[in-house]
Each structure stands twice: as C-alpha cells, then as structure tokens.
Amino acid sequence: MRDDTQTETPTMLTKMSARGVEVHYGPKRALNGIDLDIGTGDVTALIGPSGCGKTTFLRCLNRMNDTIASARVSGSVTLDGDEIYGSQGLDPVLLRMRVGMVFQKPNPFPKSIYDNVAFGPRIHGLHQRKDELDHVVHMALERAGLWQEVKDRLDQQGTGLSGGQQQRLCIARAIAVAPEVILMDEPCSALDPIATAKVEELIDELRENFTIVIVTHSMQQAARVSQRTAFFHLGDVVEVGPTEQIFTAPAHRLTQGYITGRFG
C-alpha cells in the first residue's frame, strides 16, 4: 500500500524512527506495521481520516500506550538511534521528558495555573530556585500565547479556564521541560483563529530547537506548519513526503481523495 518512490528525503537527519510498529487494542489491530522517520528539526504532520490511527501512532512515540491496559505495541521505535521499547528500552518517565505531548483533549491537572506549568520542571528537579521556576513558567505561558490572559491569576485552577485557554496551558506545560520532541495531537481543534495563529507561530519558533510531530485535521494547517506530511489510512501510512509535494501532487489516489475532500 505504501508508496516507496518517495520515502525519506536523503539529506534528512532522523530524530525518531519507527519500524514495523503494530498496535493492538485487545484483539483489534489499530496499526498494521508503520515505518516512518521523523526528521530532526522538522515539523511532521500526520493526517488522515478519523480512526485511522494517528493518535495511536503518536502515543507510540513516547510510550503513552503503556498506560492503556488493552494496548499491545510491537515493532521498533528509536530516539536518536536508541530503542525506546523492550528490555533495553528507555525509562518511560525520562522518555516522556524528552518526548513531550499535547493531547487532543485539553487535560490540565486540577491544580493552579502556575503549578500546572511548574509540574514537569519540579518532578524532574530542573529548577530549584523559585525565581528560576517563576521565569520558566512565565516564558512557557508567554510562548504558548496565554501569559497576558492569566498573568494576574496564576494561583487559580487550570480547569477553570476556557477550552482554548486550557489547550494553551497544556502547551505551556509541555514546553516548560524543554523536551527534544513535542507530539501535538490536534492542538488547535478548540482554538479560535488568533490563538491558532499564535500556536502555529509557536510551532515555527520551537522548530529551531525541537522536533515536532503534529496531528491535524486541518489540511491548511498541515500545509502551513509542516515540512513533511504522512497520510494515514486504516492503520497504514499510505504516503509520506515533503509537504509541498503532498499538497500539490500527491502520488497516491487515496491521499488525493482525502486532501481534496473526495472521500465518500
């Protein structure tokens, strides 16, 4: 099914690499053996119809599927060449610090806004001094485009924010620990166009230091923010290539049908 004529760009440095990744939820197979490379410093967009396995794949990249009892993952995923699964695999807690995640549904902790953002740095013992931590929290909220709205109520509950604000809070929480890779699962689905533009600008900025994988249902967003795009369909990667190519001349009929809105 996969189109082999346009796999990896030869010059691409690989940050993460998936080979033959299969995921089952109980008896149901959700991914059929995914081969996909994530380029260092790239924004890679994952697109595809609902239920095709984008979230499932994203969660494989930082072992989030470990937290789902029915989920079984096989195959290989590497980070900087190191295997993350198996007996020699990376420690999940450390892995998740290096590979952060912003979820499809905003999920702030039932804590204050400040503590939500400070949570990661604290558990990893990153910033001992209060003023250092204050600075990290401030910068993370600033970059996530939320600072102006919350600077006067940092001690209020994160769950008391609007949906879009909660999502930006979760972005701030994810970047506060300065991960190497950030996984974003439809980070803008609850955001208005201004907040969306801010997040996209943030993605552009983050790209200088981080590698980003983003799931999005907005074709325009995928086209705007990513350098590479992978099209998922029924648990397979049908096509992956430079974003520009995918959106001007996709090689596969299914990709074309999906991005042009011809799916029946």
Partner 1 sequence: MSIGEQHIVKSYDEELRKLDDALARMGGLAESQLAAAIEALTNRDSALAQKVMNDDGKVDACEEFINEQTIRVLALRSPVADDLRTVICSLKVAGGLERVADHAANCAKRSLVVNQMQPVAPMRSLVRMGRLVTELLNEVLDAYLNRDAERALAVRDRDQEVDDLYSSLFREILTYMMEDPRTITVCSHLMFIAKNIERVGDHATNIAEMTYYLVTGKSLKDKRPKRDTSPFEGATE
Ligand X SMILES: Nc1ncnc2c1ncn2[C@@H]1O[C@H](COP(=O)(O)OP(=O)(O)OP(=O)(O)O)[C@@H](O)[C@H]1O
Which parts of this chain interact with ligand X (CB under 6 A)? Answer: 25, 28, 30, 48, 50-56, 68, 70, 104
Q: Which is nearer to partner 1, 102 or 246 (CB)?
A: 246
Rounded distance between C-alpha atoms, residue 21 and residue 230, angstroms: 15
CB 262, min distance to partner 1, A: 5
- Position 55 contacts Mg ion (CB under 5 A): yes
Region binding partner 1 by CB under 8 A among candidate stretches 37-45, 56-64, 106-114, 255-263: 255-263
DSSP string covering 88-118, please?
TPPPHHHHHHHEEEE-SS----SSBHHHHHH
The helix-helix angle for 130-143 and 113-123 (nearest 10°) equals: 120
- Footprint of partner 1 on residues 33-92 (CB under 8 A)? 49
In sequence order, the 6+-apart residues with CB closer than 8 A to the CB of 97 are 120, 124, 177, 179
Q: Which is nearer to Mg ion, 154 or 191 (CB)?
A: 191
DSSP 61: T
Q: Which is nearer to ligand X, 55 or 116 (CB)?
A: 55
**3-class DSSP state of 140:** helix
In sequence order, the 6+-apart residues with CB closer than 8 A to the CB of 170 are 102, 103, 106, 107, 108
Q: Which is nearer to Mg ion, 18 or 117 (CB)?
A: 18
- Footprint of partner 1 on residues 211-240 (CB under 8 A)? 219-220, 223
250 binds, among partner 1, ligand X, Mg ion, none (CB under 5 to 8 A by kind): partner 1
- Position 135 contacts partner 1 (CB under 8 A): no
Rounded distance between C-alpha atoms, residue 215 and residue 210, angstroms: 16
CA nearest neighbour of 212 among 174, 243, 172, 184: 184
Q: Residues touching partner 1: how many (CB under 8 A)?
A: 20
- Position 56 contacts Mg ion (CB under 5 A): no
**Residues at the interface with partner 1 (CB under 8 A):** 49, 219-220, 223, 247-250, 253-264
